[in-house]
Structure 1
Amino acid sequence: MSVDLKFIPLTFITSNEEILKQIKNTVLFSYLLSKNEETSLNYYLETTQYGFTASALGSGSHKLVRITDINNGKVDWNTVPFCNCSDDNKYLLRDHDILVARTGGTTGKSFIVNSPPKNAVFASYLIRLRLNKNANIDFITCFLNSYLFWSQIIEMKSGSAMPNVNAEKLKTLKLPKCDIKTQREIILAFQNEQNRNELSGLYQKVNSIEILFKDSNELSSNLNYQQDLLIQLRQSFLSEAMQGKLVKQDPKDGHAKDLLQKIKAEKAKSGKKERELPPIKPEEIPFEIPGNWVWARLGDICSKIGSGSTPKGSNYTKTGIPFFRSQNVYDEGLIYEDIKYISDEVHSQMSGTTVFSNDILLNITGGSLGRCSLVQEDFKEGNVSQHVCIIRPVQFSNRFLHKVILSPFFQKLIFKSTTGAGREGLPKYNLEQFLVPIPPIPEQSRIVKKLTELMNLCDDLQQSIQDTREQNDLLLQQVLKEALMLNK
């Protein structure tokens, strides 16, 4: 066999039933290649034709079917737009024409035309394959829905910035050369599992593959369920920690009111005039906390809450001062992949948004809204973009505040308070007013220690799930290889 067959995950083929169909078809064509001469798709083709280039219209002389009109192997002709086409003989569709997407994310996906309306043509991002007398439509359809086909398509697309195939490439696709009678009889027998001695081994192979595939998917579903439970467990630990239920209170710790006074005094030393935040109303308090805890607004316990900016002209350098954007900020810590740098001069101009060790960085816009990193202790200096907010507490455990921000109640505040059309954003004034439960410093340390232990256990469970998932994925990859063993 000259084709390197592979199991290829495809974004537009996701249902277990459809994937299994692709695998079954691969089993058949692998068998046929072992018993018959190899040929190219061109042997079965009368013509190929690129689609008609035209704008979609609300009315016109012809229906214009596009890639986007083909969904789940079907076309709702009532929703297909119109165009005006003067050369309709070249582009008209008829029964058993095959349309193949030649570009984009669905490159290679095919559609068999059945009972098209009068004057239906096809758009330019499609290629029409018209079969000759050597081809049975069901035989070719099975080929186009097998990993024998997809393995070759992926190879053709590799190395291209924009995935695409052309008519000449499609003509070279390899498949078995069978006469029309054999095509018709073997497809019918295989699809209906009719009793043919030469196919008995295939039926056994298909049955064993189906069992492996179903077992693999059942395990995958169980892993997804475990993953969801683990996420809930992490959130539960954080919720209990914020309510004072994770560790015991100790009278020797004192009262958090004293801590608030120390914070207030420390902030007064800076001489910086701050906006007075409104007093906390009873209806704002989300849950009860221990008697020696207090509620405070985030702005009351921080010396800085504010986002950065983007250097003019995206003036980045290859080395220099680390410049953190939202894609660098994760709950587990800062990610330096795709990190940008700015010069000392630009950093000096942005001195108001300098990042120091133990700062907390919070994403305040976009799809990563709410993601939050604690800057490591050995960090020197950096800066941030306008999509990232620096939170710098005073006389307070940075590690505890980081956990507060990650907790369900605080994340809920973030998402309820975003503003802006299209691209969500969290205003500084809203963030300053968010409530924070404050235990005495010794208890903050105990909570962080306990949470770290529990999250480490969750990490171990997460790794176990991931290891099992990878093993399961390998099993799925083996399914197609198992299909080929019959012919070796």
Structure 2
Amino acid sequence: MRFPEFTEEWETKKLGEVATNVMYGMNAAATNYDGENQYIRITDIDEQTRLFCPNPLSSPDGELDNKYLLHKGDILFARTGASVGKSYLYNDKDGKIYFAGFLIRLNVRAEDPYFIFSQTLTEKYQRWVLTMSMRSGQPGINAEEYKLLPIVIPSIQEQEKISSFLSLIDSRIQTQNKIIEELKLLKITLRYQLYEQILNHENEYVQLYRLEY
């Protein structure tokens, strides 16, 4: 399925051909959030949405180096453990973030970053991760191996149109999820109030019964 105005063949390239500034994150422990400098670790990337969802917010402990700051076009990849392959695309709205050592950063500028990132959300990518990570006998993919990830590349105009369409769907999903969470909270509140009312009525009945007898 494609948008009808695009007919050119898609190229297949390796991620390393379109990404630059490949590096590992900072080797620092997390500490209490200082109000400015956020720290992203593997566990701060939501399993389902791949959004930055820290709970709680934290900051890197120790001296800060700006080379570990995230910028537009940065994509993070988990390099080890059960979450190997998990990815995150930096969003300016997430603020000032440093990335931790078990993550690998690649920056995409010549192509549409969201289009490249969206290919890490496919079953094809998950199969690649499974194959690549098991070569060493334990889950893990290093920076050089991530650079070998095959990706498809249409024209930049088609990339941007696809990204815009998928981003719109993501936005709708997030809105619906927020509504669902609010309804769940409302249900809990109403249920609590309802049961409290029933218990209060029962207590009043018991007290009245004791007074009469």
**TM (normalized to structure 2)?**
0.72
User: What secondary structure does 2:27 align onto?
Assistant: coil
Q: State the one-letter code of the partner of 1:384.
A: F
Letter in 2 for 1:298: L
Q: 1:298 to 1:465 in 2, by over 3 A?
A: same
Question: For 1:416-458, what per-residue CA distance to the aligned partner results, in whole angstroms no more than 9, with x for missing partners?
Answer: 4334778x43333332222111111001110111112222222
Report the Cα offset of residue 387 of structure 1: 1.3
Indicate the residue corresponding to 2:57 in structure 1.
338
Of structures 1 and 2, the one with the larger relative CO (CA 8 A, separation 6+) is: 2
Larger-Rg structure? 1
**1:451 pairs with 166, 171, 174, which one?**
166
- 1:347 counterpart = 2:65: yes
Q: Are the equivalent residues in 2 in contact too, given 1:329–1:361 (CA < 8 A)? A: no
Closer, same or farther: CA 360–250 of 1 in aligned 2, 3 Å: same
Counterparts of residues 87-126 of structure 1 (less than 5 Å): none
Name the structure 2 match of 1:328.
44
C-alpha displacement of 1:389: 1.3
Percent of aligned positions that are identical: 15
RMSD: 3.4
SS for the counterpart of 1:305 is strand
CA contact (8 A) 2:38 2:57 kept: no
Contact 2:73 2:108 in 1 (8 A): no
Please point out which of 287, 295, 310 is paired with 2:12.
295
Conserved in 2, the CA contact under 8 Å of 1:360 and 1:402?
yes
Match of 2:21 among 266, 284, 304: 304
Deviations 1:336-364 (A, max 9, x none): 84221355x5527xx4x553333112233
Contact 1:247 1:450 in 2 (8 A): no
Question: 1:454 is paired with a residue of what secondary structure?
Answer: helix
Separation in 1 of the partners of 2:172 and 2:186?
21
Task: Return 5+ residue gaps in structure 2 as ranges.
Answer: 205-213
Distance 1:444 1:427, change over 3 A: same
Per-residue deviation at 1:333? 3.7
Q: In the aligned structure 2, how far is the partner of 1:321 from the partner of 1:405?
A: 27
Question: Could you list the runs of 5+ residues in structure 1 that have no partner in the other structure?
Answer: 1-244, 252-290
- Kept after mapping to 2: 8 A contact 1:362/1:371: yes
Deviation at 1:293, TM superposition (A): 0.7
SS of residue matched to 2:65: helix
Provide the rounded CA distance (Å) in 1 between the counterparts of 2:203 and 2:53: 51
Contact 1:302–1:391 (CA<8 Å) still a contact in 2? yes
> Structure 1 CA distance, aligned partners of 2:92 and 2:192?
43
Give the length in aligned residue pairs.
198
**Does the CA contact (< 8 Å) of 1:356 and 1:379 recur in 2?**
no
Q: Quote the Cα distance in structure 1 between the aligned partners of 2:196 and 2:94.
A: 49
Superimposed CA distance per residue, residues 229-250 of structure 1 (whole angstroms, 9 cap, x where no aligned partner)? xxxxxxxxxxxxxxxx253342
* TM-score relative to the length of structure 1: 0.35
3-state DSSP of counterpart to 1:365:
coil
